[in-house]
Amino acid sequence: MAKILIMGGAGYIGSHTLKHLKEHGYDVLVADNLSTGHKEAVMDSLLITADLLDENALNELFSTYQIEAVVHFAAFSLVGESVSDPAKYYRNNVVGTFNLLEAMRRFGVNKIVFSSTCATYGQPHYVPMDEKHPQTPINPYGQTKLAIENMFRDYHQAYGLKYIALRYFNAAGADESALIGESHHPETHLIPLVLQAVKGERENVKIFGSDYETPDGTCLRDYIHVSDLAAAHRLALEKLDKYQGYINLGTGIPTSVLEIIKAAEKVCGKTCPIVKTERRSGDPAKLYADNTVAKNILGWQPKYTDIEAIIRTAWNWELNRRF
C-alpha cells in the first residue's frame, strides 16, 4: 500500500496531522531531522531520521518506500531568528524544499500539501485577509514560504505537480488526548508562554504593546486549533486531484492578547502575572483570516471556535507534558 510521507512529522503541527491521518486509516511514514521535532511526538509510527539537505537520504527514502503523496512541514519558523540569520532559513526552507521536489520528480511522486503561513502576506491592507491579499512579506521567514509557494506554481505548470499550500494563521492548542502538544525551545508563542507563567514556570508574560488601534489596545490574532489544521491537511490530500492553489486556515475570529490572558486565567483558575512593554517590531495590529475558500473548496469547518476550548487543550498538555 502506498504511503503518505510526512516531512517534519515530529514537529507541532506535523505530529497532530500524523495522528489525525492514522485515525482516518492512512498509511503514513514520518521523516524528520529532529532539529526542532521530538521523536516522542511520532509515538509508534515509523520515523526515518532524514534531512532535506541530504540528497542521498532522500533517494533512499523514496526508493525504499512507495510514496503516494507528501505532506511537508519541515521548516524553521521563528520570525526573529529569520531576520538575524536569513541564510539558515533560505538553506533549510527554500533549498530543502527544492531538494524534496526534485526527489519527488526523480521518483514520480507529484502530490504535495504544504504548510505555508499568513506571514507571506506581510502587513495587512485589509482584514479579514483572503487569498487575493497582496503578498509582500516583511521578514525572511515569510519570504522563504512565499518563494516555496511560487516554486509550486511553476512546477505545476511545467511538470504537473499537484499542490495545495495551506496558509496558517496562529496555530494553537493540543490534541484532546494531551499525549502530544506544542513544545518549542525556545518558546516564543503567546499561549504556551501565558500557561507557563500561570504555572509559575515563568516570572511573567510581557504584553508587546497596549496602544494599538484595537478595542483593548493589544494585537488581534486568529488562533486556530492544531487539530482543525490537521483535519484540513487530510481534506487537502483528498482534493489534490481536483484543486491546486493556496488556502487560508483560520477561524476568522479575532482575539486580542488581553483576551487570551483572561481566557487562560478562567480555564486555569489562576492569575497570570503580566508586564506591559513596548511593541515587538514587525507585529501588525490585526491579522485574521477570511476562510471562505477553505470552507468551499475543502469542505472544512473548524470545530474549535471558542478560545477557552482551545486554551483548555493547551492547558491539559502543559499539565501532562512529556517532551
The residue number with the shortest CB distance to ligand UFG is 219
Of 141, 155, 304, 315, the residue at the interface with ligand UFG (CB under 6 A) is: 141
Q: Is 141 a catalytic residue?
A: yes
* Site track 145-164 with ligand UFG (rule: CB under 6 A), x = hit: --------------------
Q: Which of residues 66-95 bind ligand UFG (CB under 6 A)?
A: 77, 79
CB of 280 to ligand UFG, least distance (A): 5
Q: How far is the CB of 201 from ligand UFG (least distance, A)?
A: 14
16, 221, 234, 239: which one contacts ligand UFG (CB under 6 A)?
Answer: 221
Instruction: Write the CB contacts of 293 (distance below 8 Å, at least 6 apart in sequence).
Output: 130, 131, 247, 248
257 sits near ligand UFG (criterion: CB under 6 A):
yes
Answer yes or no whether residue 219 interacts with ligand UFG by CB under 6 A.
Answer: yes
42 binds ligand UFG (CB under 6 A): no
Task: Identify any residues that bridge with 6 across adjacent strands, giving them in sequence order.
Answer: 30, 71
Interaction between residue 116 and ligand UFG (CB under 6 A): no
Asked if residue 259 binds ligand UFG (CB under 6 A), the reply is no
CB of 159 to ligand UFG, least distance (A): 29
105/189 with CB nearer ligand UFG = 189
The footprint of ligand UFG on residues 282-311 (CB under 6 A) is 283, 287
Selected from 280, 292, 305, 309, the binder of ligand UFG by CB under 6 A is: 280
Q: Which residues bind ligand UFG (CB under 6 A)?
A: 77, 79, 117-119, 141, 170, 188-190, 193, 205-208, 219, 221, 257, 280, 283, 287
Instruction: List active site positions.
Output: 141
